[in-house]
Amino acid sequence: MNPISIQNAPHYVWGGDCDGWHLMSNPAVSVIQERVPPGRAEVWHYHQHTVQFFYVLDGELTIEVGSRLYRLSAREGLQVMAGEAHQVRNEADQEVVFLVISVPPSHGDRVLVTQ
């Protein structure tokens, strides 16, 4: 076992200029660190089986769940249950860095929603 960080974790790009690093991935849970520039957002979606916990490390993250809007600052988190349509976005003027903990991992479990 070796320490992991964004310097040595598997990396991917989404939305053209947003980053994700797989800090932990196994059949039971995944932990991803994401970086989202100002003005960027993911698509509206829900997960059929996955519960997710978003935890902000730096900046401010906006999460809309159904019709409720949450603004999370550093060291704040929010749980999103399976089946809840949601969108994560950065409405602030600086990048946001956060963790997404998914139980079980969310890959292949996402259903797109039209708003």
Question: Edge-to-edge, what's the strand order for the sheet holding 51-58?
Answer: 11-14, 18-25, 30-36, 96-103, 51-58, 77-80
* CA angle, residues 109, 113, 115, in degrees to nearest 5: 160
Instruction: Give the pLDDT confidence of 2-59 residue by residue, as tens digits.
Output: 999 999 999 999 999 999 999 999 999 999 999 999 999 999 999 999 999 999 999 9
pLDDT band for position 113 (cuts 50, 70, 90): very high
Of 70, 78, 42, 75, nearest in space to 59 by CA: 75
pLDDT confidence of residue 67: 92
Please say whether the beta carbons of 19 and 70 come within 8 A. no
Q: What is the pTM (predicted TM-score) of this model?
A: 0.95
* Number of Cβ within a 10 Å radius of residue 106: 19
* CA angle, residues 32, 83, 92, in degrees to nearest 5: 50
pLDDT confidence of residue 49: 97
Domains of the chain by start residue, with CATH: 18-75+87-112 (2.60.120.10)
